[in-house]
Copies of this chain bind each other. A is one copy, B any other.
C-alpha cells in the first residue's frame, strides 16, 4: 500500500505511525496490559476515537502495523512457483520468509518477546495465519488432484498452525522443515 499524496495523506501516515510507535514504546516499557488505550492516544497526541479509526482491530492491532493481504500473497506464491517446485515446498518457503529471521538475534528481540509472552498478541498473530485457510484450501484443491476436499482442508489447517508451533522453537526453520517433511509423507500430494 502506497502512502497517499498530499498533505492530508502525509499527515494520515504520520498519525498512524505515531500511534503505532507510542503503543510499542509503552508496551515494551510496561507490558501490554499495564497500558491503557487512553495513555497510548495521549502519548501519540491523538484522540482515542482516532486511534480506533486507524486500528479497528483494537489494542492488539496496534502492535502489527504493516498488514498485508496474506491470503492472496500465499495463494500467489503457490500458483507462481517455479516449475521444479511442488505446492507444499512453495508454501513452506512462503511461511519461511514470514518467520523471525535470525534465531539468536530475534529471540532476544524485545518485540518478539512481548508478542510471544502476551497471549492476546500471540492469538492475534496466529489468527492472521489461520485466516488464510479458505484461500489456501482453494489453491490446494486447484493444484493437487485429490479425491475429497476434507483432507485438503485439514492439511490447510495444519499447515497454518505451523508458524505458531515453530515460533517457540530455537531453530524455527529446521522445525518447519521437519513438520513439512511429515506432512508431505502423510498426505502424499505430489501430482
Residues of chain A whose beta carbon lies under 8 Å from any beta carbon of chain B? 148, 150-151, 153-155, 157-158, 161-162, 165-166, 169, 175, 178-179, 182-188
Contacts and interface: CB of A to CB of B under 8 A. Distances in A.
Contacts of A157: 161, 165
Give the number of times this chain occurs in the complex, counting copies: 2
A150 B171 CA distance: 10
Contacts of A165: 153-154, 157
Given A151-B179, A158-B161, 9 more contacts: A153-B165, A154-B175, A154-B178, A154-B179, A154-B182, A158-B158, A161-B161, A185-B186, A185-B188
Contacts of A175: 150, 154
Contact of A183 (B148, B150, B178, B186): B186
Nearest to A176: B154
Nearest to A157: B165
B151 A178 contact: yes
Tell which of A154, A155, A166, A175 has the most Cβ of chain B within 10 Å: A154
Contacts of A150: 169, 175, 178
Nearest to A153: B165
A155 B153 CA distance: 17
Contacts of A188: 185
Nearest to A171: B150
A182 to B, nearest CB: 4
Contact of A186 (B148, B161, B166, B187): B187
Contact of A151 (B148, B158, B182): B182
